[in-house]
Structure 1
Amino acid sequence: MLDKTVSYYAESYDRNSSSRRKWYRNTDKILWTRGLKSTTSTMEEIKVSPDYNWFRSTVPLKRIIVDDDDSKVWSLYDAGPKSIRCPIIFLPPVSGTAEVFFQQVLALTGWGYRVISLQYPVYWDLMEFCDGFRKLLDHLQLDKVHLFGASLGGFLAQKFAEYTHKSPRVHSLILCNSFSDTSIFNQTWTANSFWLMPAFMLKKIVLGNFAKGPMDSKMADAIDFMVDRLETLNQSELASRLTLNCQNSYVEPHKIKDVAVTIIDVFDQSALSVEAKEEMYKLYPNARRAHLKTGGNFPYLCRSAEVNLYIQIHLRQFHGTRYAAISPDMVSAEELEVQESHRDSEDDQ
């Protein structure tokens, strides 16, 4: 097993040359568990991988404006059969962009699913976000959808399901390393000041939640990739996301009790405390639980095969219904019979 010791530091440039701060990865050491051999690491492994390059070259990035404010632009990748009207939509964490779910897009579309991975514009208020997201679904002519949310993305997915509970737009939720109450971060008192902070300070706050110390190479590469994505976000994007992440709010579970939920989390180090995870289990006692032994904050990048399998298992329960996210041609008659029998048995209960 290959372990990389990973840490991050900020290098300040002279103000006359640049006012930005760039973040670099310190990978001077690679520690082998067997022997004391060391070598130099390959930087940006994911960014130069064949899968990522294939994704960028084959799936077009779309930009959509649905608000009166033309500066609010939704960026998204929409892949798979467009005839599917109930796709799975991926919502990124604070540090993420639409690209961070590229491995899910490639795998799921290969199995016949319609997948949308998006990046939200600058919204400073949860209700404003929910209204904008509803307009986006209207624009895409999507009645109901399945949502996969990572960290902040998962919280926003829950709030949107809650926001639309009287006229449901969310058929199911997959919550990855997510939370239901922003008070767990103990920053509700600073939420209204993020807009004043410079970008380098906001990045420092985000990086403070990234795992440090020895880890396997895939996890280190995932952090590399997320740092690269973080660097593409401007001050207002970061400040607004941190505001949504920390402003005082919580999920009202009684409003989304009929939504099917799968919770994906990890047993190793992540930004979520054990208490936050336990609170999610209490909030959704009937949710399916998918546990990963390792994966850190970004299992969809470094443990993509396992995460993709859990997503497929979650979506399989809707095969053969109007809310299937997969092309009917990709589902066998035998599987449809099995899913139908499962639904009948659940109805009897």
Structure 2
Amino acid sequence: MGPESRFTLKKFPQVYKWSYILFTLSETFPLLCFQVFLYLGFVTNMGEIKISPDYNWFRSTVPLKKIIVDDDDSKVWSLYDAGPRNIRCPLIFLPPVSGTADVFFQQILALSGWGYRVIAVHVFGASLGGFLAQKFAEYTHKSPRVQSLILCNAFSDTSIFNQTWTANSFWLMPAFMLKKIVLGNFASGPVDTEMADGIDFMVDRLESLGQSELASRLTLNCQNSYVEPHKIRDIPVTIMDVFDQSALSTEAKEEMYKLYPNARRAHLKTGGNFPYLCRSAEVNLYVQIHLLQFHGTRYAAIDPSMVSAEELEVQKANLQASSEQEQQQQQQQS
């Protein structure tokens, strides 16, 4: 099977399919489903990404750091810090509700290898991470801490999920019910191989989250809150989204465009909810293009000796040519 056929091969994410079935049945047959789930944990392949050489190399070379952010050691931040330590204006990635720090391992490996320091002032936020990135920039607008934002499948108002009335009850729900809520936003139809692997990996990361972590993330995701864009209108923004199915509605995407009329737009033809996993090359290139505007300034996130602006311009031209070719093919097919 050649590389071209991998993108046309359709399959259902295995872990997602089994997890959703078990979480649904667990309300009626909790003991049986628990035993079956334990069995599947041993015999089911958790996806190509988790066993891939790139992911294993990432886990073996980039240490996971833990930072205590409370006096009683009850709150700990886990993060990966990669790239040149002399960079004082790094790039920070914030994961979605279902993700952990390592869901961005492909960006960390690629960008740090090119000379970027990835961990904060340039912020890449996906879904809930994008919303929190905007709120952080908003809260610190009088004493700016954020120099730019890259918002991937992000939203600006939590009311789009129509769950503000249940936000305060997430703390009372068991973990399996919270996971079922999150899984309900995952793509359930046939997808290409790379997207299926990405979903499987995210389900595996979801399994690693405890009840308190899930409850707090869902509360942040659903409690009544919105971004005040007039406080961050001077910050350079790139809005990254996909044309295929994702958890965000068309109305939510249009609202983001209205809030940031001067933002750069990075559209991906496909990628679903997790383009940074299944379309990592395109995402990495868009991140580089976004950060290009800071080259040669104190806010550069890259060691200037590592990657030249000319090289990035060539990559940008190639991406534009590829996009135009895809549009022509779509017009011919229609």
* TM-score greater than 0.5 by the shorter chain: yes
- Paired residue for 1:69, among 51, 57, 72? 72
Residues 52-105 of structure 1 deviation map (CA, whole Å, 9 limit, x = unaligned): 000000000000112223110000000000111110000000000001000000
For 1:293 and 1:251, the matched residues in 2 are separated by 27
State the AA in 2 paired with 1:289.
Answer: R
Q: Offset of 1:20 from its aligned partner? A: 11
For 2:269 and 2:293, the matched residues in 1 are separated by 25
Q: Offset of 1:334 from its aligned partner? A: 6.1
* 1:49 correspondence with 2:25: no
For 2:155 and 2:226, the matched residues in 1 are separated by 9
State the AA in 2 paired with 1:107.
Answer: A
Does the aligned pair in 2 maintain the 1:9–1:24 contact within 8 Å?
no
In structure 2, list runs of 5 or more residues that go unmatched.
1-7, 313-334
Residues 96-128 of structure 1 deviation map (CA, whole Å, 9 limit, x = unaligned): 000100000000011100001xxxxxxxxxxxx
Q: Offset of 1:331 from its aligned partner? A: 4.2
* 1:5 correspondence with 2:12: yes
For 2:268 and 2:240, the matched residues in 1 are separated by 8
- Paired residue for 1:83, among 66, 69, 86? 86
Does the aligned pair in 2 maintain the 1:174–1:262 contact within 8 Å?
yes
Normalising by structure 1, report the TM-score: 0.80
State the AA in 1 paired with 2:175.
Answer: A
- Paired residue for 1:253, among 214, 229, 234? 229
Change in Cα spacing, 1:270 to 1:333, as seen in structure 2 (3 Å) is closer
For 1:316 and 1:239, the matched residues in 2 are separated by 38
State the AA in 2 paired with 1:155.
Answer: F
Aligned CA-pair RMSD: 2.5
Q: How does 1:105-184 map to 2 (within 5 A)?
A: 105-116=108-119, 144-184=120-160
For 1:334 and 1:245, the matched residues in 2 are separated by 40
Does the aligned pair in 2 maintain the 1:222–1:302 contact within 8 Å?
yes
Normalising by structure 2, report the TM-score: 0.84
- Of Structure 1 and Structure 2, the greater strand share is in 1
- Paired residue for 1:289, among 254, 265, 272? 265
Q: Offset of 1:328 from its aligned partner? A: 2.2
Q: Offset of 1:214 from its aligned partner? A: 1.0
Residues 157-210 of structure 1 deviation map (CA, whole Å, 9 limit, x = unaligned): 000000000000000000000000000000000000000000000000000000
Residues 33-64 of structure 1 deviation map (CA, whole Å, 9 limit, x = unaligned): xxxxxxxx964100000000000000000001
Match of 2:320 in 1: none
State the AA in 2 paired with 1:277.
Answer: K
Match of 2:204 in 1: 228
Change in Cα spacing, 1:188 to 1:333, as seen in structure 2 (3 Å) is closer
Q: Secondary structure at the match of 2:147?
A: strand
* 1:269 correspondence with 2:272: no
Q: Secondary structure at the match of 1:317?
A: helix
- Paired residue for 1:97, among 93, 97, 100? 100
Does the aligned pair in 2 maintain the 1:151–1:177 contact within 8 Å?
yes
For 2:247 and 2:109, the matched residues in 1 are separated by 27
- Of Structure 1 and Structure 2, the greater helix share is in 2
In structure 1, list runs of 5 or more residues that go unmatched.
26-40, 117-143, 337-349
Q: Secondary structure at the match of 1:248?
A: coil
Identical-residue share of aligned pairs (%): 82
Q: Secondary structure at the match of 1:115?
A: coil
For 1:17 and 1:298, the matched residues in 2 are separated by 28
Does the aligned pair in 1 maintain the 2:11–2:191 contact within 8 Å?
yes
Q: Offset of 1:5 from its aligned partner? A: 2.6
Change in Cα spacing, 1:20 to 1:62, as seen in structure 2 (3 Å) is farther
Q: Secondary structure at the match of 1:94?
A: coil
* 1:205 correspondence with 2:181: yes
- Paired residue for 2:220, among 218, 227, 244? 244
For 2:39 and 2:107, the matched residues in 1 are separated by 27
Q: Secondary structure at the match of 2:21?
A: strand
State the AA in 2 paired with 1:270.
Answer: S
For 2:247 and 2:39, the matched residues in 1 are separated by 20
Q: Secondary structure at the match of 2:288?
A: helix
* 1:315 correspondence with 2:327: no
